[in-house]
A and B are shown apart, each in its own frame.
Chain A
């Protein structure tokens, strides 16, 4: 479908009439409609009419996000993923603020804009090199870049401060035409016009082609690596421009200013109708997606939504916007309803497959083959059979060994120190458990962003119910796990039944859970872990912390679950091809829902164990686990687009990241260098994972 779409790009003789065009850009049109609707709502509920100044403020408020979202859209159209967007914005802001001179009040706008865009493009070229030419997975390359850039930003500008010349501010924040056209809208207009031109060039055509189907694109003579490289460079330039804009808007520098934009950028792109995985959508929708996200702030204010409810309301708006955008005759929800009705009709007519008499309908040769292999046909050796798994999982362990040796040299007292191994395994437990859930979700081609507050809510619920009493664990643990299962179920239903992007569903869920945690705890989580739970995480039996045998059992169980059960095989089948899996009789919907339940259960388990480890639960206790949970899965050899990866590899990834953090924590290096080193090591680990065949 997407391929056909790429062939019908304007310029080809296939260009249809207006109706065809409208159908093709339906997602974009709906994104615009959603924004216009929210804008009218805002206008209606706000005291006083919308003046030019209100519009001007709204315009400048969303511009940074919109510019970054345009860049991200290009990357996603090419089939990629860019986690470094927020970090680049911070870097450009820091570079400008640190280098502009206080004495030069008339600094040239063009010159500094070029500097900002140039810095962004350099980072983009770095990403592009590894993604396009070394064929590394975008998510892990850009994650490493994010750490490196964040560290670099702190070297450029250690703390908020610096100076940005007012000329920049008056140029970008002023009026292009007084009382008619604010400069930010003109800026976005120019960028979108440039895109409209670019889309019609060979590059634009190639971008959609590469995103839809890289193999076909290569077959028709498109240089896939160069298209990808150019896309990352272009996207970097747009993040750079966003950084310039935020500098103009704030008049100074803050090394953390862009980092928190990252998730909003993805949300904006998805609300704008661009499909993750490439080939479909466009930047125009993303711009309106960005403004939709920003205008929510005004709506919450006008409705006086209480603080604890704001993240819930926001999650709801996010879901509704996407749901609204996705509803049409061909939407998944409509499909599901049609299928359900058809199944009901078939059942009443007695024609449903499940109603046929149960009998062995296997073809005759399937049985023969099984008999033959039992009869002594030699299986290939263990190594041959698992060669692929080993090739993808091994680098994590090789890197782990290197880190351990480095730790021995730098800190000493490691390899033969039992305490070190004990601490390493205890600290790895959290990521190892998360890796199962997040890994299974990633294997099916999804992503679970609701981990942070699933962890925190589980911990807070547990501590609140247990209040230091061991017997209470007996009922508290099942309740917490049941709540988590319900969370996972809702995530899964949103993804499967409503057909929404996993990113949006889980991001919205994360916001809703945050609100739930705040409401439950009234802002101050009370209660604490029971002695048994604390002992489990921090006690010692013959020098071993009790959680370690549990971890060992978990690793074995997880390996079996993903590698040796029919559930595991179905997960891989879906990751390789959803359609093929469905046609082979896998009930894909159920498996995908189960995967999200598994992920939520893993997160809840981590929440419980963290509560035992810390002795209490706190708000925000899960915040530091989201990106690492993705990193360990990918470093362990899993493919973010699904279908490839082994749990043992992910476990290796968890050990590697923990060992690396332990090494860095033992030094007195400044944080900036640690972040850079961390990014470099992760990148180096995956360079070894490189696929050697051409894609």
Chain B
């Protein structure tokens, strides 16, 4: 906290003399260029990157500086340029646009700077990308839903942010699956902006002219937790919750635990309901993994240009509650966290990576590494 205050003082008094902390001789200078940080996923991903940089294995290797560009691609372009000028050896990027950064990334590459993008992609060929297979995410979840419905029923789709590659890849793949089942009808489609709050307003609009009884299944990029809560509010019983294929929020996973499971801190609707669910995620550890790969490269290791992360899929059969959320425990297969520890049901639960033993629950929550 005190360091925050110091930095604020520095920022406010722009004319104050700036004394750069002299980095240890062999530390690699790495920058993180984030986009908009005003949402839960970004903040969680940033916590995990910071935790990794602060961990025992990396604290002596990396000098990490985190900067936010905001939602504006122009500023990220300028920021990356400035980072290159400031002597970056590697830049970890959450790209605002997969294409707008191409020229600046090319320029950075030509100066020997390693660029690693996480979650979203940079199409410039010299960049390194860490992503999940978005198409697979759309397809697997849609297949699960079609299966669950026995190949027939009326479903509602809640998509992501229109005009983004990720949204289109997921939605297209899902629609292709549904098209193979002539008895599955998409009766409503709304833009959910990857936000629980927007999913709620959009579903409310859809339900203004429909009843829950008219809907047999939901395919949502984000919002299953909210959809289940809305069904309970509408007076439906817990055994009649419709199957929902959607994101990996912790709230949604707690709901998928068998009814009656003892969970500390649970209170409806953030409680075990036995809701039929498949949960996938763009895991927030991808930023930390991008940092790991960047350091690997700086140490001379070979890294492929595309790292496709295993798609974290959790269904009612594989769901398992964690006691503490340590990395060791998650390694043994737990994937859901107690509401008493994770108070925010919209928090993203897919934080386990077998390659990052430094990061457990505390890394994602408050930026504290395991060691």
Residue of B nearest to A430 (CB): B201
Give the complex CA separation of A172 and B37 in angstroms.
Answer: 31
B-contacting residues, A32-88, CB 8 Å: 38, 41, 45-48, 53-54, 57-58, 61-62, 64-65
Q: Whose C-beta in chain B lies nearest to the C-beta of A671? A: B162
CB contacts under 8 Å to B, within A539-593, are 539-540
Contact across chains for B46 and A304 when beta carbons are under 8 A apart: no
Interfacial chain A residues near B69, Cβ < 8 Å: 297
B68, A310: Cβ atoms closer than 8 Å? yes
Which A residue's beta carbon lies closest to that of B225?
A615
Contacts A169-B103, A298-B82, A618-B39 given: A154-B205 contact, CB under 8 Å? no
| Contacting residues, chain B, for A618 (C-beta < 8 A) | 39-40, 195-197, 344, 346
Please state if A305 and B344 are interface contacts (CB–CB under 8 Å): no
Contact of B81 among A61, A160, A317, A527 (CB under 8 A): A61
Q: Check: B10 CB closer than 8 A to any chain A CB.
A: yes
- A671: B residues at CB distance < 8 A: 159, 162, 191
Bound: A255/B164 CA distance, A: 8
Cα A679 to Cα B47 in complex, Å, equals 39
Interface size on B, residues (CB 8 A): 94
Q: Quick check: is B313 within 8 A (CB to CB) of the other chain?
A: no
Q: Does B12 contact A (CB under 8 A)?
A: yes
Neighbouring A residues of B168 by C-beta, 8 Å: 158-159
Within 8 A of A (CB), among B71-114: 71-75, 77-79, 81-83, 85-87, 97-103
Across the interface, which residues of A come within 8 angstroms of B230, CB to CB?
538
Distance in angstroms between the alpha carbons of A412 and B168 in the assembled complex: 30
Report whether B197 and A523 are in contact in the complex, using a CB–CB cutoff of 8 Å: no
Stretch at the interface among A197-205, A357-365, A416-424, A684-692: A416-424
Report the stretch among B144-152, B182-190, B255-263, B316-324 that lies at the interface: B182-190
Which residues of the partner chain A approach B7 to less than 8 Å between Cβ atoms?
303-306, 309
Q: Are B344 and A527 in contact (CB under 8 A)?
A: yes
> Are B38 and A254 in contact (CB-based, < 8 A)?
no
Please give, as numbers and ranges, the residues of chain A lying within 8 Å of B44 by CB-CB distance.
Answer: 523-524
B207 lies within 8 A of chain A by Cβ:
yes
Q: Pick from A271-279, A331-339, A501-509, A660-668 the stretch touching chain B.
A: A660-668
Which one, A231-239, A245-253, A437-445, is touching chain B?
Answer: A245-253
Q: How far apart sit A261 and B204, CA to CA, in the bound complex (Å)? A: 31
Q: Is A316 an interface residue (CB 8 A)?
A: yes
Give per-residue flags for A281-312: 1 if the beta carbon is below 8 A from chain B beta carbons, else 0.
Answer: 00000000000001001111111111111111
Q: Kindly supply a per-residue 1/0 record for chain B positions 47-74, scoring 1 wherever the CB is within 8 Å of any chain A CB and 0 otherwise.
A: 1000000000000000001111111111
Given A305-B7, A618-B195, A624-B193, A411 and B78 touching (CB < 8 A)?
Answer: no
Query: Chain B nearest CB: distance from A531 CB in Å?
Result: 8
Least Cβ–Cβ distance between B343 and chain A, in angstroms: 4
**Contact partners of B101 in chain A: CB under 8 A:** 250
Q: A619 CA to B102 CA in the complex, in Å?
A: 29
Q: Are B269 and A297 in contact (CB under 8 A)?
A: no
- Measured between C-beta atoms, what is the minimum distance from A553 to chain B in Å? 22
* A417 x B99 contact (CB < 8 A): no
A619 engages B229 (CB within 8 Å): no
Cβ–Cβ < 8 Å partners of A158 in chain B: 163, 168
In the complex, per-residue mask of A441-467: 1 if CB is within 8 Å of any chain B CB, else 0: 000000000000100100000000001
B206 within 8 A of A: yes
Contact pattern, B 179-218, Cβ under 8 Å of A = 1, otherwise 0: 0000000111111010111101110111111110000000
In the complex, which residues of chain B have a beta carbon less than 8 angstroms from the beta carbon of A64?
Answer: 74
Cα(A246)–Cα(B211), bound, Å: 47
The answer to whether B209 and A525 have CB atoms under 8 Å apart is: no
CB distance from B93 to the nearest CB of A (A): 14
> B73 and A424: CB pair below 8 A?
no
Instruction: Tell me whether B40 and A427 are in contact (CB under 8 A).
Output: no
Decide if B11 is an interface residue (CB 8 Å cutoff): yes
CA distance A467 to B102 in the complex (A): 45
Q: A307-B46, A523-B44, A525-B344 are in contact. Are A668 and B187 (CB under 8 A)?
A: yes
Q: Is A216 an interface residue (CB 8 A)?
A: no
Question: Given A407-B209, A538-B233, A619-B43, are A256 and B8 also a contact pair (CB < 8 Å)?
Answer: no
B79 touches A308 (CB 8 A): no
Closest B residue to A658 by CB, please name it. B205
User: With A and B bound together, what is the CA distance between A616 and B226 in angstroms?
Assistant: 10
Which one of B11, B78, B162 contacts A154 once the chains associate, using CB atoms below 8 Å?
B162
Are the C-beta atoms of A254 and B98 separated by less than 8 Å?
Answer: yes
Any B CB within 8 A of the CB of A214: no
Question: For residue A51, which residue of chain B has the nearest CB?
Answer: B85
* Least CB separation from B107: chain A residue: A57
Known contacts A158-B163, A525-B344, A614-B197: A249-B97 contact under CB 8 Å = no
B204 contact from A264, A311, A427, Cβ within 8 A: A427
Find out whether the CB atom of A297 lies under 8 angstroms from the CB atom of B82: yes
A303→B200 contact, CB < 8 A: no
10 A-B contacts (beta carbon < 8 Å): A169-B103, A250-B77, A297-B79, A306-B7, A412-B209, A420-B209, A518-B43, A523-B46, A524-B47, A671-B159
Residues of chain A touching chain B, judged by Cβ–Cβ distance below 8 Å, are: 38, 41, 45-48, 53-54, 57-58, 61-62, 64-65, 153-154, 158-162, 169, 173, 246, 249-257, 260-261, 264, 294, 297-313, 316-317, 320, 407, 411-414, 417, 419-420, 423-424, 426-427, 453, 456, 467-468, 514, 517-519, 521-528, 534, 538-540, 610, 613-616, 618-621, 623-624, 661-662, 665-666, 668, 671-672
10 A-B pairs closest in CB distance: A523-B43, A423-B208, A61-B78, A526-B343, A313-B11, A252-B99, A665-B205, A260-B71, A671-B162, A250-B100
